[in-house]
Amino acid sequence: MRISGNTIFIPGATSGIGLALAMALRDKGNTVIVGGRRQHLLDQIAADHDLATIAIDTADPASISAAARQVSAEHPNLNVLVTMAGIMRVEDWTRSGFAEGAAEIVTTNLLGPIRLIDAFLDQLLAQPDATIMTVSSGLAFAPLKVTPTYNATKAAIHLLSESIRLQLAGTSVDVVELEPPAVQTDLMPGQRESAFAMPLDAFVGEVMGLIEAQPDATEIQVERVKFLRYGEARGDYDQVVATLNQADPHGK
């Protein structure tokens, strides 16, 4: 993905990584459209940061279709989709009663990106140079005990990204997977203050540097995520899992 000159839709950018990435990409000369459910934040972002906004609930197929129609009408040059929206919840799988909550996580974190890519694919394929950026996690590669369904959805996003990259080879659409480590956002209670999480500005700064230096990269990996990402390849996976789960009860 080139660092400038794109028109980028980021559903899931009313806060956290999405918002910080939206502002960094705007500063590099991209047109960025911010999506999310919280209308008061969308209004504030439009006023404070001069970014276009679109209301979207990525857990709702009708909302995704409506947003795709709106983006197509208002931003016909759209060439980058970042499937950022995600939720992370602690679950207890030692007692029954977790299925409903797990289904909500799957709906947002896995079905959401699938439905977004489906809704935006034709628009992206019509551009000479386009990118789908998926968002997995270091937890796609090593499990945090307290968030089983979250880990599973992010592992699925990794394999989905690898698979559709193979199918889309030879088209104008590249597939890039962003693999964040723990980052200081409001994804989980207390995470913004966690000493185990990377400061948001440092994370996004490193991501921008990687995109700029390696426009053809298929995975965007800051240094901090490599501990989790490559445990199996290094041969220290068991130690990685043990360290991850004793570091912090919330894994941050």
Residues lying near ligand NAP in the complex (CB under 6 A): 11-18, 36-38, 41, 56-59, 84-88, 108, 135, 137, 180, 182-183, 185-187, 197
Closest distance of CB 78 from ligand NAP, Å: 17
Please name the helix (run of DSSP H) or strand (run of DSSP E) that holds residue 220, with its range, or none: strand 219-220
Q: Which is nearer to ligand NAP, 128 or 222 (CB)?
A: 222
DSSP annotation of 170 reads T
State the nearest-atom distance from the C-beta of 141 to ligand NAP, in Å. Answer: 11
Give the Cα-Cα-Cα angle 192, 194, 196 (nearest 5 degrees): 130
CB of 86 to ligand NAP, least distance (A): 2
CB-wise, 88 or 168, nearer to ligand NAP?
A: 88
- Distance (Å, whole) CA 10 – CA 217: 19
Q: How far is the CB of 120 from ligand NAP (least distance, A)?
A: 14
H helices present in the chain, as ranges: 16-27, 39-49, 61-74, 99-106, 112-125, 148-168, 200-213, 226-229, 231-234, 237-247
For residue 3, the tally of other CB atoms under 10 A from its CB is 17
In the complex, the smallest distance separating the C-beta of residue 144 from ligand NAP, rounded to whole angstroms, is 10
CA 213 to chain centre: 20
Of the pair 130, 183, the CB lying nearest ligand NAP is at 183
Give the residue with the Cβ less far from ligand NAP, 5 or 190.
190
* Shortest distance, position 61 Cβ to ligand NAP, whole Å: 11
Question: Is 237 designated active site?
Answer: no
Between 90 and 126, name the residue whose CB sits nearer to ligand NAP.
90
Among residues 164, 171, 110, the alpha carbon closest in space to that of 137 is found at 110
Phi, psi for 34 (deg, rounded to 5): -95, 130
The token duo for 77 is 């040059």
Of 9, 141, 150, 227, which is the active-site residue?
Answer: 150
CA separation for the pair 7, 172 (Å, rounded): 15
Cα dist from 151 to 145, 230, 246, 251, whole Å? 9, 16, 17, 12
| Closer of 197 and 210 to ligand NAP (Cβ) | 197
Active site residues: 150
